[in-house]
């Protein structure tokens, strides 16, 4: 059974998807509460109001294979992250796995790999070649996102927005000169906002993004999810999902 409900709140209204298989609910210890954000091509809402993306498809497949009942909601990042920190049996994806976050959660992953880049508009005179060079420019990022936090931790001032799509508009309006973001996300939003081509100035970190769960979440269920994910990566089903999502939506690197 799959049901969808909507609730307003934050910059995007939430979508709840309940995935269940016959006769499994009580035996599994109740519903696992999963939250995700709009972060294409990993997790996003389609024009039809459906949840899609590499991580969403992978999670749906894992839940189906393991028979775990789960609710998936699309929420603003800060709220999704806070709920996973506060509530048992609650997880957030796709979450960048950093040393600072390692002990805060139980992890299932990796769901996706994500390289971080510094971007400028094609044709701009920005000449930065490393993070140290960004001190000379107005830099934009996504509030509470691992990319912006990483850059700020290195002493660079970042003008953060409540969602990363706004940074495309800020770049086009010359409110920022450099946009720090993921290798697929920034070009995706640049296309949606029709701001022209982006130029990658440099890449500065290779990361993995995973399912991050409250420490009191049932370890046995998470272990089953991890085993199913490992099998998907081994037998080629994971690679097929990645290729299909990128081909259907236009790979940002094409």
Question: Going residue by residue through the chain (254 aa), what tens digit of pLDDT does each one get?
Answer: 233 333 323 323 334 444 444 333 333 468 999 999 999 999 999 999 999 999 999 999 999 999 999 999 999 999 999 999 999 999 999 999 999 999 999 999 999 999 999 999 999 999 999 999 999 999 999 999 999 999 999 999 999 999 999 999 999 999 999 999 999 999 999 999 999 999 999 999 999 999 999 999 999 999 999 999 999 999 999 999 999 998 887 654 44
- Kindly state whether residues 83 and 198 are assigned to the same domain: no
- Kindly state whether residues 107 and 8 are assigned to the same domain: yes
Contacts 24+ apart (CB under 8 A), 6-10: 6/49, 9/75, 9/76, 9/79, 10/75, 10/76, 10/79
For 72, 123, 137, 230, 234, the CA distances from 225, given in Å and listed in that order, are: 15, 46, 43, 9, 14
- Show the domain range for 51: 2-113+209-249
- Kindly state whether residues 52 and 94 are assigned to the same domain: yes
The predicted pLDDT at position 250 comes to 66
The predicted pLDDT at position 251 comes to 56
The predicted pLDDT at position 249 comes to 77
Cα gap 22→77, rounded to integer Å: 32
Asked whether residue 106 is domain-assigned, the answer is yes
The predicted pLDDT at position 248 comes to 84
- The number of distinct structural domains making up the chain is 2
Residues of 138-159 as b/e, b for ≥16 C-beta within 10 angstroms?
bbbbbbebbbbbbbeeeebebe
Burial of residue 96 (CB within 10 Å: 0-12, 13-18, 19+) is buried
The predicted pLDDT at position 157 comes to 98
pTM: 0.81
- Kindly state whether residues 57 and 75 are assigned to the same domain: yes
The predicted pLDDT at position 155 comes to 98
CATH number at residue 123: 3.40.190.10
- Kindly state whether residues 121 and 179 are assigned to the same domain: yes
The predicted pLDDT at position 16 comes to 45
End-to-end CA distance of the chain: 37
- Kindly state whether residues 38 and 103 are assigned to the same domain: yes
- 3-state secondary structure (DSSP) of residue 136: helix
Asked whether residue 151 is domain-assigned, the answer is yes
Asked whether residue 254 is domain-assigned, the answer is no
Asked whether residue 137 is domain-assigned, the answer is yes
- Kindly state whether residues 50 and 80 are assigned to the same domain: yes
- Kindly state whether residues 157 and 224 are assigned to the same domain: no
- Kindly state whether residues 150 and 124 are assigned to the same domain: yes
- Kindly state whether residues 125 and 68 are assigned to the same domain: no
- Kindly state whether residues 107 and 216 are assigned to the same domain: yes
């Amino acid at each position: 059974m799959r049901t969808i409900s909507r609730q307003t709140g934050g910059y995007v209204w939430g979508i709840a998807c309940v995935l269940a298989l016959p006769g499994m609910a009580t035996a599994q210890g109740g519903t696992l509460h999963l939250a995700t954000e709009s972060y294409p091509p990993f997790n996003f809402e389609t024009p039809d109001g459906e949840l899609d993306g590499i991580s969403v498809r992978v999670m749906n497949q894992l839940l189906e294979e393991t028979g775990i009942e789960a609710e998936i909601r699309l929420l603003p990042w800060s709220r999704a992250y806070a709920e996973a920190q506060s509530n048992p049996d609650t997880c957030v994806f796709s979450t960048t796995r950093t040393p600072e976050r390692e002990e805060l959660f139980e992890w299932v992953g990796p769901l996706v790999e994500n390289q971080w880049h510094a971007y400028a508009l094609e044709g701009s005179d920005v000449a930065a070649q490393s993070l140290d060079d960004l001190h000379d420019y107005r830099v934009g990022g996504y509030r509470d996102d691992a990319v912006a936090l990483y850059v700020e931790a290195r002493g660079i001032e970042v003008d953060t927005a409540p969602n990363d799509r706004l940074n495309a508009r800020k770049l086009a309006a010359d409110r920022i000169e450099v946009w720090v973001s993921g290798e697929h996300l920034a070009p995706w939003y640049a296309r949606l906002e029709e701001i022209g081509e982006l130029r990658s100035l440099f890449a500065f970190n290779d990361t993995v993004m995973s399912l991050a769960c409250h420490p009191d979440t049932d370890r046995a269920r998470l272990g089953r999810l991890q085993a199913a994910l490992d099998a998907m990566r081994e037998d080629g089903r994971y690679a097929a999902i990645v290729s299909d999502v990128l081909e259907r939506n236009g790979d940002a690197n094409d």
